[in-house]
Structure 1
Amino acid sequence: MRPVFLATGLLLLALVWLLPLDTMLPVFAAHMVQHMVLVAVAAPLIVLGLPRLAERFAPPPLAAALAEFVVVWAWHLPVAHALGRLDKLGTLAEQASFLAVGLLVWAGCLRRDQPLAGAGGLLLTSMHMTLLGALLVLAPRDIYAELCGTAPDLSGQQIGGMLMLAIGTPVYLVAGLMLTGQALRDRGVA
């Protein structure tokens, strides 16, 4: 166990779940901060904090990346997003599924025996997170306002998309590149 990583990951979870982020940021942007902390910041810290446990439950990296892709994109469909934003059980299901797939991705991709496959999983995740963030930023209207029963807030959605780009894209990309470097060193290439 690595207590510093684990404690930091758990502290971040507590902060994003307990702080009133929606009083500090537009509602959609606050929601996106929660998502990104769950999948791209707290999850890898928890996996790094519990490496033996993570290795025991680590799925194949590309399977984990696919599961994460499905969960993230499904919760960003307007009907599912409204459920996650407006219903307490929906919020719980959304947050739990984001954390679960985040843990799966990082456990699978940080496996010591497959750094190149892990790099592939993280780079694929970076690509789809970048695409989703860009779609949120470039959408001509607030995608979620009507189903959420709120006034349109295109700028809040754009800020949320930019947060996704600013947090998720570099975290997955840098980690994927680090794993690629590790794989090359392991093979004596670098």
Structure 2
Amino acid sequence: MRQVALISGFLLLPTAWLIAVSGMGMIGHMGAHMIAVAVAAPLIAYGLAGTRADPAVRWPSVVAPMAMMLIEFATVWLWHAPAARAAADASLLVRALEQLSFGLAGLLLWSSVLKAPARASGIGALLLTSMHMTLLGVLIGLAPRTLYSGAHGATHGLDPLTDQQLGGVIMLLVGAAAYFLGGLALLASLLRHRPVSAA
């Protein structure tokens, strides 16, 4: 199971990159980010969990859930600032750095929350991440005007505002949902393994 997850996660990374450079506007941009941070990253983290390559095993005092949640929060919000988006749209090198930072931030967060002793704080970290992803998705999706210029023009027959709004919906459906469901799965796991006290 872990090998399948690891291989699947690594296969999704080039798929995300191809979508990122495909010129599909905000829909493609957001799809690429969500594949990297909310789909490929948890699969890779699950595949590496408990091994020497697991970041939470290699650097246990650094790769902690709340700290990694803050890194992931900063990564997501900073790259969605209009100036950062414009820089990524204008340069393949900056776009590659953007996509790499999403993948790494996601891997570090998911690795930290899958570490057994950190399950309780991991639940909190995933639920907080779900909340900030929801907020950003709503801000992008409900904005009354286009927030980003440049490469996010009319694509696939959509005007720029509709393209941006659908990008926000993708963040809500994929990003917020993945972290929320991950938090619920960790909670279920924690409750399953909770020792029952004697009556």
* Same-fold call, TM cutoff 0.5: yes
C-alpha separation in 2, matches of 1:83 and 1:187:
48
Residue of structure 1 equivalent to 2:4:
4
Match of 1:136 among 128, 140, 147: 140
- Structure 1 runs, 4 residues or longer, greater than 6 Å off: none
CA 1:36–1:19: 2 relative to 1, 3 Å: closer
CA 1:183–1:135: 2 relative to 1, 3 Å: same
Q: For residue 10 of structure 1, report the CA deviation from its aligned partner.
A: 1.1
Aligned length: 186
What CA RMSD, in Å, does the superposition of the two structures yield over aligned residues?
2.0
CA 1:108–1:20: 2 relative to 1, 3 Å: closer
C-alpha separation in 2, matches of 1:177 and 1:150:
38
Tell me which moved more, 56-65 or 115-124: 56-65
Contact 2:78-2:84 within 8 A present in 1 as well: yes
Residue of structure 2 equivalent to 1:168:
175
Match of 2:108 among 104, 107, 118: 104
SS of structure 2 residue aligned to 1:98: helix
Contact 2:20-2:32 within 8 A present in 1 as well: no
C-alpha separation in 2, matches of 1:85 and 1:101:
20
Match of 1:35 among 33, 47, 62: 33
TM-score by length of 1: 0.90
Q: For residue 81 of structure 1, report the CA deviation from its aligned partner.
A: 0.8
Q: Is residue 56 of structure 1 aligned with residue 60 of structure 2?
A: no
CA 1:80–1:20: 2 relative to 1, 3 Å: closer
Counterpart amino acid of 2:57?
R
Q: Deviations over 1:92-119 (max 9, x none)?
A: 1111111110111101111111211111
Q: Is residue 86 of structure 1 aligned with residue 90 of structure 2?
A: yes
C-alpha separation in 1, matches of 2:174 and 2:192:
27
C-alpha separation in 2, matches of 1:46 and 1:175:
14
Q: For residue 186 of structure 1, report the CA deviation from its aligned partner.
A: 2.8
Uncovered stretches (5+) of structure 2, i.e. residues with no partner: none
Q: Deviations over 1:148-189 (max 9, x none)?
A: 584660000001000001101111111101111222233336
Residue of structure 1 equivalent to 2:77:
73
> Percentage identity across aligned positions?
45
CA 1:149–1:183: 2 relative to 1, 3 Å: closer
Contact 2:19-2:31 within 8 A present in 1 as well: no
Q: Is residue 177 of structure 1 aligned with residue 184 of structure 2?
A: yes
Counterpart amino acid of 2:146?
D
Counterpart amino acid of 1:157?
Q
C-alpha separation in 1, matches of 2:18 and 2:29:
13
Tell me which moved more, 8-17 or 127-136: 8-17
CA 1:80–1:2: 2 relative to 1, 3 Å: same
Q: For residue 19 of structure 1, report the CA deviation from its aligned partner.
A: 5.0
Q: For residue 21 of structure 1, report the CA deviation from its aligned partner.
A: 7.0
